[in-house]
Amino acid sequence: MSRLTSLIFLTFLYCSASYAYTDIEEGQQKLLTKAGKLEPLNPWESAVLYCKAARNGSLEAYYRLGMLFAFGQGVPENREVAASLFATAAQQGHSEAGKMLETILYSSDKLPDCVLSNTKPPRGQLYSRGFNDATLDAVLSSLRKDRHWIINMVKQIASWHQVDPRLALSIVSVESAFQVNARSKANAMGLMQLIPSTATRFSVRDAFDASQNVKGGVRYLRWLLDRYNGDIELVAAAYNAGEGAVDKYKGIPPYPETQNYVNKVIHRYQSRRHAFNLGKL
């Protein structure tokens, strides 16, 4: 083989390897993006994707999967596994993983099976029956510590507007899973998923500002509670489908999405009547 032929061959190999590496990176990024969108609503499914990305060598996936195990989001809380994931990423230069490794105060080399082989991660207790079946107390107790300020804020704003804080928290948990920047395909925004017309109606200038969003959503809840005399089924149905739909059908509209939504809220709140209207609070 001539020197020129050898050079061409080596150049071809280098370019092929570069393209393959780029494809792998792009594939990992797609997995991370998809998993990030899933995490607020179904963290176990996002853990499945993080495991796959980690098997492909993504340091970010190691870090994110470590966060899920550290706080028991979708998977069982396991500080040993979390520490191992953080350590693996930190050793290769992931700074945030390094910070978490210092915070978690644990050392381990026990990586989860889903990173070592093509298996799925274990399901956390909250998600063994499905996230939608969880009561409000179960949801709040599983919430990451960095989101506890949202709970306190919702409680305070709800009490100011004579709305049972547990109802407001139930709505937030179903609507956005406590994600401040959540946005739906219908352009519902923020913690209480306000659509633009509702945001305008209740003087919310920035729907992604947590306090503005919750204030607007709680004011809407208070308005619906007055309109439907504290009937949580009708309030939840109207919050999801609009009061026009509830009035049209004189009850819960025959929309599967709305009916499922009402069931979730009732299960979270554990009551069909508003506590204030029952004189309990």
**Dihedrals phi, psi of 196, to nearest 5 degrees:** -55, -40
| DSSP 8-state class, residue 120 | P
Distance CA 239, CA 216 (A): 12
CA 132 – CA 125 distance, rounded (Å)? 13
Catalytic positions? 175
The residue with tokens 């305008």 is 200
Tokens of 47: 């853990």
Task: Report the half-sphere exposure of 112 (CA within 13 A, side-chain side).
Answer: 33
Residue 140, judged by CB atoms within 10 A of its CB (0-12, 13-18, 19+), counts as middle
